[in-house]
Structure 1
Amino acid sequence: MEEKEKARQEFLNETKAFLQTCQNTFSKVLQELDWSPSHFVEQKDIGVCCYNPGHIMKTEDLKKHEEICRFTSRGVPKAEALDESKRTSQFFYENVSSVCNVPINKETLNKVLWDHHVENHSIFYGKSEVPLTTEEASIMLTPSERGALHNYIIKTAKEQHKVHGVETDTLLTADFQEIVKKKALEGQNSKPTSYTEYLRAMRDYKRRRQSYRAKNVHITRKSYTEIIKEVIENQTDYLTEILKEDQGEDKQIVEEETQ
């Protein structure tokens, strides 16, 4: 009888020692995680990821997780999914008021594509997902479908008064040949009253001939691109001269200091 009690007491002591060891280990883990035993007692709202039911977490962290899981569940590498600039282009334009945000959800995508296929008398089965990346868009959508989405975005942006037409500069886009013709027609109504004016009229007439215009086509009429090119070249030459002058002054200062 005494042996049984002694064996039982030893078992209890070993059990207590084991429990104490487990308690110490558990306390160390909590200390490293900066947690407390009350952390397990408190009832917190738990949510389930809509893209992966196996992902269970606090509701306050669920939204950020779903933004990343939305991409990883579609095969996007996690490193790219964690980068906000890779997930959405809105990251680059969030502080730019001139850029219009046109969201495309599943319903909008199917409506735009449905109207496009009805207009072109083609078959459309509907899209189950919205492309998340440019690679997915090139795979899931045909070039004509991407063009239809582009037109929808432009139209929506204009309706929101976010896309403004750029006013043309009349000085840069003026057709000088048409101006000369207009002036010539106006001059035909009034005959020259003196020999000098007659000579001027003959000179203007010769300049309006086809052979003269062919030699001076770049003087009488220049495209917008040619004009801008000349402006850039002039500014480049001007900056080059300024840099040379600055370098010469710096060199002169260095020589004076060395002397």
Structure 2
Amino acid sequence: MSIENSSQSRLNQIEAYETQLKEYNKHFENLLNELSLDLENVKIQQQEIKSLVNCPFNPAHKVPSKSFGRHFRKCELKFHGIHNELGRRKKLPSSNFFYQNSPSVISLNKEELQQISEIKEGPLSLTVDQRLQKYEKEIGMCDQIREQHQQQKKDIYQNFDQVWETIQKMKEQSQGQKTREELLAEQRDYKRRRKSYRAKNIKITQRTPTQVHRDIIAAYMEDFKLLAQFEASQQDQIELPPKSF
């Protein structure tokens, strides 16, 4: 019984292996069909690859055994620095001569393209003294710019108080002083009004922040206009030539 069981188990294993092989063959055929190849072509290509011979002068060259002799002679000459010009096609003459004076044509030569300037990647390595010298130079430039800016401010605001006094005088002159009669008329009109009117009138007693800001901006704008007029008058006085007596 043991012999029969062992033989039966072996037969079962053989059948399982055969079914596995059939499945693998089907998968392999499907892959070949997807790649549009046949099993015979694959065998031929494999034989050709096996028949390739490595070149002794350049290991990257793999040549079929049929053309190995011709390839061997060419590589041997190149290896020894001898270029065999026999069998080469002559190069056509360059047409750059016809386009020398044309501004819209650019010539691209292999030699010019291969001559690429080398650029170091990353920051250049400087010594401690070089870095210190560069730092001191930049700090000196910053101090010089700061001094020039401060000097300009000093020149602008040096006589600012005197200029402001003259502007206020110009403002008073432009507005004009009220006479005694005008002041008495304003006081008389104010007294004639009732206290209830003076207290309840919102336009007189209360003002919104927007109105206050508007009045402030208007006052500043008047001052700026007077300042511009004063600067223009000063510039005219400087440009006028002195009178000869």
TM-score (norm 2): 0.23
Pick 1 or 2: higher relative contact order, CA cutoff 8 A, min separation 6. 1
TM-score (norm 1): 0.22
Greater radius of gyration (CA): 2
